[in-house]
Amino acid sequence: MVKRIRHFIESRTGLETFVNEFLYEDIPASAGWHNVMGSVALFCFLVQAFTGVMLSFNYAASPGEAYNSVKFIMTELTGGKLIRGLHHWGASMMIVVVVLHMVQVLIWGAYKKPREATWMVGVVLLMVTMAFGLTGYLLPWDNRAYWGTVVTTQIAGLAPGAGQYVQRLMGAESGVGVVTFARFYSMHTLLLPVAILLLIAFHVYLVRKHGVAPDPGDNGPKGKFYPSQVFKDTVAIFVAFTVLFSMALILEAPLGRLADPTDTSYTPRPDWYFMFLFQLLKFFEGPLEVVGAVILPNLAIVALLLAPFIDRGGVKRVGQRKGAMALVLVGAIGWSALTGAAISGTPKEVEGVATGGPAEWAHLSPEELAGIGYYRKENCSACHTLGEDGKKMGPDLAKSGIRRDAKWMLEHFKNPQEKMPGTSMPPIHLADSQLNALAAFLLKLNTQNAKELRDAPQPAVDGALVYQQNRCNACHQVNEVGAKLGPPLNGLAKRRERAWVEGHFADPQKFSPGTTMPPYRLAPKDLERLTSYLLSL
């Protein structure tokens, strides 16, 4: 039965013959561990393709929504943080592995005749890999990605004569926005995958056509690709995946706050593999900027492409290729120095919750703080105390001995006589959401915090009431309470001025292009209250 099945597959597809030819290809006796990088690079691409598809199942391809979907993937989706970590760190690993593969080929001189085309296709593959990193960098649509892309598009605009056309092609002629996002997303998910698949197929074909480059004087008997080299490639792939998986588990893929084109305090930086170019521009200012931004990088690319035609000498042993080694060493030192200088000069972004011992009321959720407002509006203090001395008609609500659950409280608020026959308490005529807030406050109350909560400043309480009435918690979090669609609001005063916050309520699209937040036409007093509350967090 097995023979019949194999015969059917072979006669109809030729698959068995193809696999045998692929696995049992002749390789030089000198082939070994230094030849594993090509297989590792291919593996890295497959990881990127797989994780990219997995991310696309939950990714929303539009600014604002893109940010929210990435945040959802990382905080809500099962395994989402791991998948994004593999994709994020895998992009960096792929660039490193491709560069190391080219360095190995350069040092060994494996680009010489008849392998010139193989090398040139490899250089183009490196450029496409960098393009993947460039276009994918923008897609989380956080501040880091937005401003990094602004730097990149500005550098592209320096090309003499062609700068404005390159920026127009990127959709960034009038700044980074929705058009830029759409074009980067299309390139990242539609154009570049097709290009790299075709290039990889052509590259592998050329490697198979001309074979693995042997060491000079390698006259030993040829080996087979399987099992010796396959084993070495598999071990190298396993090591690479172990490193990548560990990074995805230990190091969380970065996601800053939502992209903000008006955040002039943010220090823009591209991703690490473009940092050297960013630092290089500091040596070429004014009219000379084009030298560092365009001329030198393009000369380096042309030099790589023409390397087989520049170095036309005979094949030498690795130990004798001192010129190639010196060139690689100088390049590595220069790249490392420029990248290190750029990273060390990058200030840390200030984000997060303000420090400095906030009062007890500042720890309350907006709903709980709004509950204090309803407590005061309904004049509950006429009959009840909150941990104060003295007696009143009703019980001290701070004492745990009278604690009730939320369901009991809501029913009691609406119909006191039913829950406590003979009570003189009248029904409280508030909406269910308002009664929920009142109950939430009372549940938070205890004898230790009663005084501070009782003395909560009225402006903060009024602001929390406006916050609740406009359902800001449907998108934002305060003190880790609320939805995660928008950025958390704790520490807002460290990031924004009052004028920006007030303007953002009136016209969110102007201040955060691509946001899904609708405009809010608040009364001047409500706007002042809400803004003051948010800036006090």
Residue 277 shares a structural domain with residue 388: no
- Give the angle subtended at the CA of 293 by the CAs of 138 and 103, to the nearest 5°: 80
Residue 327 shares a structural domain with residue 374: no
Please enumerate in sequence order all residues whose Cβ is within 8 A of that of 148, keeping only pairs 6 or more positions apart, or say none. 137, 138, 268, 269, 270, 271
- The residue out of 344, 378, 407 marking a domain boundary is 344
Residue 340 shares a structural domain with residue 433: no
Q: How far apart are CA 334 and CA 324, in angstroms?
A: 15
Most confident of 119-133, 288-302, 310-324: 119-133
Closest by CA to 437, choosing from 402, 485, 481, is: 481
Helix orientation angle between 192-210 and 37-56, rounded to the nearest 10 degrees: 160
pLDDT of residue 398 exceeding 50, the answer is yes
Q: What is the pLDDT of residues 243-260, one digit of tens each?
A: 999 999 999 998 888 887
Q: How far apart are CA 432 and CA 364, in angstroms?
A: 20
Would you give the distance in Å from CA 515 to the centre of its chain?
Answer: 17
Is residue 18, in this structure, part of any structural domain at all? no
CATH number, domain at 411?
1.10.760.10
Residue 337 shares a structural domain with residue 367: no
Residue range 309-318: average pLDDT? 83
Residue 323 shares a structural domain with residue 421: no
- The whole-number pLDDT of residue 264 equals 59
Q: How many domains, the chain?
A: 2
Is residue 428, in this structure, part of any structural domain at all? yes
Cβ atoms of 164 and 228 within 8 Å: the answer is no
- The residue out of 283, 313, 344 marking a domain boundary is 344
| Residue percentage of the chain with pLDDT more than 70 | 95
Q: Which domain holds residue 450?
A: 360-535
Residue 470 C-beta-side C-alpha neighbours within 13 Å: 21
- The whole-number pLDDT of residue 402 equals 59
- The residue out of 344, 374, 409 marking a domain boundary is 344
Residue 204 shares a structural domain with residue 313: yes
Is residue 35, in this structure, part of any structural domain at all? yes
- The whole-number pLDDT of residue 263 equals 66
pLDDT of residue 353 exceeding 70, the answer is no
Is residue 350, in this structure, part of any structural domain at all? no
Residue 375 shares a structural domain with residue 502: yes
Residue 478 shares a structural domain with residue 367: yes
Choice between 304 and 279, residue whose per-residue pLDDT is larger: 304
Pairing of strands 223-224, 477-478: unpaired
- The whole-number pLDDT of residue 300 equals 92
Please enumerate in sequence order all residues whose Cβ is within 8 A of that of 274, keeping only pairs 6 or more positions apart, or say none. 133, 134, 152
- The whole-number pLDDT of residue 354 equals 30
Amino acid at 237: I
pLDDT of residue 172 exceeding 80, the answer is yes
Q: How far apart are CA 269 and CA 137, in angstroms?
A: 11
HEC string of 415-471?
A: CHHHHCCCCCCCCCCCCHHHHHHHHHHHHHCCCCCHHHHHCCCHHHHHHHHHHHHCC
Residue 496 shares a structural domain with residue 377: yes
Per the prediction, the chain carries an average pLDDT of 87
Least confident of 157-161, 212-216, 339-343, 353-357: 353-357
Is residue 236, in this structure, part of any structural domain at all? yes
Choice between 308 and 455, residue whose per-residue pLDDT is larger: 308
Cβ atoms of 478 and 537 within 8 Å: the answer is yes
CATH number, domain at 255?
1.20.810.10
Is residue 214, in this structure, part of any structural domain at all? yes
| Residue percentage of the chain with pLDDT more than 90 | 36
Residue range 89-100: average pLDDT? 95
Confidence of residue 347 (pLDDT cuts 50, 70, 90): low
Residue 125 shares a structural domain with residue 229: yes
Is residue 15, in this structure, part of any structural domain at all? no
Residue range 13-26: average pLDDT? 85
- The whole-number pLDDT of residue 394 equals 81
Residue 330 shares a structural domain with residue 422: no
Residue 302 shares a structural domain with residue 408: no
Is residue 4, in this structure, part of any structural domain at all? no
